[in-house]
Structure 1
Amino acid sequence: MIYLLLSVLASTLIFIIFKLFSRFDINILQAIIVNYIVASISGMIAYTEPINIVSISKEGWFYGTMILGVIFISVFNLMAITTQRNGLSVAAVATKMSVTIPIIFGIIVYHESTGVVKITGILIALIAVFLTSIKNTGGVPITRKNLIFPLLVFIGSGIIDTSIKFLETHHVAENDVPIFSATIFGFAAIIGIIILFIKAITGTLKIKLKNIIAGIVLGVPNYFSIFFLIKALRYNSMDSSTVFTINNVAILLVSTFAGILFFKEKLLLKNWIGIILAIASIILVTFSI
């Protein structure tokens, strides 16, 4: 349970850092790419064994991390497009509701425990995620033309969590968790560097020191959010469907309260209803273990 708590805290710290980006006019793309580099280096430092690139490339999880790295940075860009075309709330809902994919995967593929209490808790959690994520009554209407972007964010985010669960279950040894995480971020960083290189060629790249600093600050908690999530998934007393539900809802809860405390965010009635349901869902899912 301690790893799950640490994953929630690390993910909440990411939320706070992202909120500060807009205040300091940070270039999100540049900061994200630096963040991937720092996250990858963090994993390499945490890895206690000698790093052998040839040996790593022969691991069963290697090609999976390559694909995940591409999906990581692709989903980020899709989230940016979704925010621009549909609004922040739609992007938030698409990202958070994607938890249904790894939950269903765990129940069907791994035959994880189900029951009235657990299923009720999961359904309440999904409703809570929706209500808490909608932060305003306005926004850009969703049309058939731009519906594809939140749908891709939903699928991409779900694939990331599901793939991490699959790879860590079947291919990642206990001592390899740091280098496994580092490799995912490393491939995401490579794709990001290629994007920056293309921007440099086209003359649209202007790197600023504050963007690099922002990326460094973001990179460490980003690494640990994945590291601790993987550790939590290895905890024998909890199914992955339980871990993903509690993790997702707890992050939403703590992030919401952090927004109120540090950024004076105002919540609507439906947000407060969502918070109450979120707390109820965590209690139900936890006691269903």
Structure 2
Amino acid sequence: MMYLLLSILFSTGLFVIFKYFGIYKVDVLKAIFVNYIVAFSMGFLLAERKIPITEIYLEPWFSGALVLGALFIVIFFVMAMTAQKNGVSVTSIAGKMSVVVPVFFGIILYNESVTFLKIAGIIIALVAVYLSSVKEEKSNKNGTLLFPILLFIGSGTIDTLLKYIQTNHVADQDISIFSGSLFGIAAFFGFLILTFKGIKKREPFGMKNIVAGIVLGVPNYFSIIFLIKALQDKNFESSVLFTVNNVGIVILSTLVGLFIFKEKFSFKNKIGVALAVLGIVLVTVA
């Protein structure tokens, strides 16, 4: 339970940091790249079992890490395109409701329990995510459904693959180096993108973006570490854990927005938070 709570806490911290990125006009792609470098370095420095970088490809989880690392970058761009084409609310809802993907595969692949309380809790949690996330945006955006669908599938795929690889290939002592490898691969793809953009338009990297990336990298590393450690807890089914984790982040992020950033919340948002608590209680009890 402690690892799950820490995962929720550090994941919420990421949303807070991204909020400040907007306030201080940080170049998100550059900060993301630096963040991956920081998280990669932490993974190897804090690893329990030391593995030479040149031998990482021999590990049973490397191919999975390669796919996940690439997905990290791809989904980042899909999120950006969804926000531009469809609006922030649609982006938030599509990303958070993707929890249904790992929940579904948890039941199918790992024969996890299916009870009335559990299904009711998950449905209530999904409704809560929608109501908590939807904002009264004054926007004329009529974007395609392609990007929200890709974001939904991609985000859910990342969580599902993370659970599968952790269950079948990652030893307890390799969690840190596995996570570090994920970020290292993501950093490599990020470097390629930045290089391509630099060829088209040269501009200084900026100390502000480096500092922002360092600040982001530490909680990002721990959010993955604690999520993987929580997934190892035999007392939690993955369908329950992903639901509680996702909805917990929604609740905490909402409270942070309300009390720290003084954001305005509609009646729908308040109902959503109340339903989120109910959904977590039902899923946990089930």
User: In the alignment, does 2:18 pair up with 1:18?
Assistant: yes
Is the 1:106–1:241 Cα contact (8 Å) retained in structure 2?
yes
User: In the alignment, does 2:208 pair up with 1:210?
Assistant: yes
User: Aligned letter for 2:105?
Assistant: F
Whole-Å separation in 2 of the counterparts to 1:113 and 1:267: 35
Residue 159 of structure 1: aligned partner: 157
Map 1:47-126; keep pairs closer than 5 Å: 47-126=47-126
Whole-Å separation in 1 of the counterparts to 2:265 and 2:86: 20
Once the 2 structures are TM-superposed, how far is the Cα of residue 206 of structure 1 from its aligned partner?
A: 3.0
Whole-Å separation in 2 of the counterparts to 1:219 and 1:205: 23
Residue 46 of structure 1: aligned partner: 46
Once the 2 structures are TM-superposed, how far is the Cα of residue 50 of structure 1 from its aligned partner?
A: 2.1
Whole-Å separation in 1 of the counterparts to 2:122 and 2:142: 26
Residue 286 of structure 1: aligned partner: 284
User: Unaligned stretches of 5+ in structure 1?
Assistant: none
* SS across alignment from 2:236: coil
Whole-Å separation in 1 of the counterparts to 2:268 and 2:195: 44
Whole-Å separation in 2 of the counterparts to 1:206 and 1:147: 36
Distance 1:180 1:140, change over 3 A: farther
Moved over 6 A (4+): none
Is the 1:134–1:271 Cα contact (8 Å) retained in structure 2?
yes
Whole-Å separation in 2 of the counterparts to 1:225 and 1:88: 23
- When the two structures are superposed, what TM-score results if normalisation uses the length of structure 2? 0.98
* SS across alignment from 1:172: coil
Whole-Å separation in 2 of the counterparts to 1:73 and 1:133: 23
Is the 1:82–1:91 Cα contact (8 Å) retained in structure 2?
yes
Q: Pick from 255, 269, 276 the counterpart of residue 271 of structure 1.
A: 269
Whole-Å separation in 2 of the counterparts to 1:131 and 1:234: 31
Whole-Å separation in 1 of the counterparts to 2:220 and 2:100: 22
Does 192-201 or 241-250 show the bigger shift? 192-201
Q: Percent identity?
A: 51
Once the 2 structures are TM-superposed, how far is the Cα of residue 138 of structure 1 from its aligned partner?
A: 3.1
Q: Pick from 251, 255, 260 the counterpart of residue 262 of structure 1.
A: 260
User: In the alignment, does 2:255 pair up with 1:219?
Assistant: no
Whole-Å separation in 2 of the counterparts to 1:270 and 1:225: 29
Once the 2 structures are TM-superposed, how far is the Cα of residue 11 of structure 1 from its aligned partner?
A: 0.4
RMSD of equivalent CA atoms: 1.1
Once the 2 structures are TM-superposed, how far is the Cα of residue 165 of structure 1 from its aligned partner?
A: 0.2
Whole-Å separation in 2 of the counterparts to 1:97 and 1:6: 21
Is the 1:122–1:285 Cα contact (8 Å) retained in structure 2?
yes
Whole-Å separation in 1 of the counterparts to 2:71 and 2:268: 32
- When the two structures are superposed, what TM-score results if normalisation uses the length of structure 1? 0.97
Q: Map Cα deviations across residues 53-83 of structure 1 (whole Å, 9 max, x no partner).
A: 3442111110111111110011001101110
Whole-Å separation in 2 of the counterparts to 1:173 and 1:284: 32
Once the 2 structures are TM-superposed, how far is the Cα of residue 139 of structure 1 from its aligned partner?
A: 3.1
Once the 2 structures are TM-superposed, how far is the Cα of residue 204 of structure 1 from its aligned partner?
A: 3.9
User: Aligned letter for 1:127?
Assistant: V
Q: Map Cα deviations across residues 191-211 of structure 1 (whole Å, 9 max, x no partner).
A: 001111112222243311101
* SS across alignment from 2:6: helix
Give the total of aligned pairs. Answer: 286
User: In the alignment, does 2:130 pair up with 1:134?
Assistant: no
* SS across alignment from 1:99: helix
Residue 226 of structure 2: aligned partner: 228
Map 1:144-155; keep pairs closer than 5 Å: 146-155=144-153
User: Aligned letter for 1:106?
Assistant: G
Once the 2 structures are TM-superposed, how far is the Cα of residue 137 of structure 1 from its aligned partner?
A: 4.4
Whole-Å separation in 1 of the counterparts to 2:20 and 2:55: 40
User: In the alignment, does 2:269 pair up with 1:238?
Assistant: no
Whole-Å separation in 1 of the counterparts to 2:57 and 2:125: 39
